[in-house]
Amino acid sequence: MSKIKNWGIVTPSQSQKIRNSYEKSLFPSRFSSWLTGKAHSEKRLNTIFSWWSYLCVVLAAFFMGLACLIYSQLITVQLAGTLLVLFSSRRLAAVVIHQAVHHRLSGNEMIDMLIGEFCAIITFSQDFKSYKVDHCKLHHSPETFATKSDPILIFLETCGLTHGMSKSDLILGLWSCIFSPFFHFKFMVKRAIHNLNFKRPVRLLFFGVYYALLVFEMYSQNNISGALLLFLGLILLYQISAFVEICSEHLWFGNTEERRNTEYFYADISWGRFCGLPYPAVRNNVPTWYLVNLFYHLPVRLFILVGDLPQHDFHHRHPIVVNWTNAIELRNEAIGTIVENEPRYLEVWGLHNAIGIVFEQLSQKQSFVNQCTINAD
């Protein structure tokens, strides 16, 4: 079986050195931990959010963004509103709804379902019920995780990113989808189908009332630019964010039949995805370091690798953890308390490197790929 080589993959000890090097910068330690998605080796973070305060803050940001787009005619305010809608809608979908299907919000199945459905309606994303099947019964199942039956891999293949393509063609396919009207139309239709489900009349009624009110408010304010920017943020940019993120997520076809019989079948085909690079030893390189962090890694953290997505591999090892708002610390603690026979954690710095790993694997001719190789210390 082939092994994937990529210099973005490092050991946890190497990764910790990258994170700790941020203490030499002007960034506050808490900001550095959030930006990178990696906790400091010694400076612990106090948890700021509970599940409900996290939900309230993100919902407040979402409706504040909507208000900017509906009621303001100032383009600067509308642009800020667009970014707020993108920022919050991705967190509502990738974090809140995700934790809801695992019943890790209130812990009450009915309450979590109602929260999940509400967030799915306002973000025009996949409904709670079908997402729970796709995610919990298929994506997390040892029989289908990272196989051709995994819903995420099926989605990638419908986007034209198929097994056996060359890596350069996969990269070209990624960029083609980002700018393709046909890709966005298909993605939008898929989202609409999940929401326009006549077999669930109560949910459909709430969906219709919400969007009728939204359209009415937009129309009454005669805010064409606001409506266009809402479409940009909630549809186009949202879809780009979701698509790029799943292109960096897992090593597909690595879940062999032999591996499925092990307790940690998911471990070395998942990785931590962190945003950043080592603080430079050469002083002349420091300005470039700040520019790369602020204009590349910061936007990625704000709009693509949102919430606990940098620690997504930890989620696969501990999917029912309650304190998920503190996943940055929990993952570091888990690295230090690996149990016997548990594979060590893999860590990748830079979204581009994570995508490179996925595309290199997809370009392999073999049906299965065993695991990633890691740089030596």
For position 177, what pLDDT does the model report? Answer: 98
Mean pLDDT of 270-276: 95
| The pLDDT of residue 70 | 97
Backbone angles phi, psi at 3, to 5 degrees: -125, 145
The model's pLDDT over 293-337, given as tens digits with 9 standing for 90+, comes to: 999 999 999 999 999 999 999 999 999 899 999 999 999 999 988
H-helix or E-strand containing 163? none
Alpha carbon distances (Å) from 283 to 24, 286, 314, 349, 357: 12, 5, 35, 22, 31
**Among residues of the chain, what percentage have pLDDT more than 70?**
94
Q: In this predicted model, which residue has the larger pLDDT, 1 or 191?
A: 191
Q: At residue 258, does pLDDT exceed 80?
A: no
Cα–Cα dist 327/39, whole Å: 9
**C-beta separation of 100 from 119 below 8 A:** yes
Per the model's pLDDT, the better-predicted residue between 113 and 372 turns out to be 113
Find the range with the poorest average confidence among 123-132, 142-151, 200-209, 361-370: 361-370
Is the confidence at residue 152, as pLDDT, over 50? yes
**pLDDT tens digits, one per residue of 33-76:** 999 999 999 988 877 899 999 999 999 999 999 999 999 999 99
**pLDDT tens sequence across 74-114:** 999 999 999 999 999 999 999 999 999 999 999 999 999 99
Whether the Cβ atoms of residue 372 and residue 271 lie closer than 8 Å to each other: yes
- Average pLDDT, rounded, for the chain: 92
Mean pLDDT (whole number) for 114-135: 97
d(CA 97, CA 109) in angstroms, rounded, equals 13
Q: Distance of alpha carbon 239 from its chain centroid, rounded?
A: 12
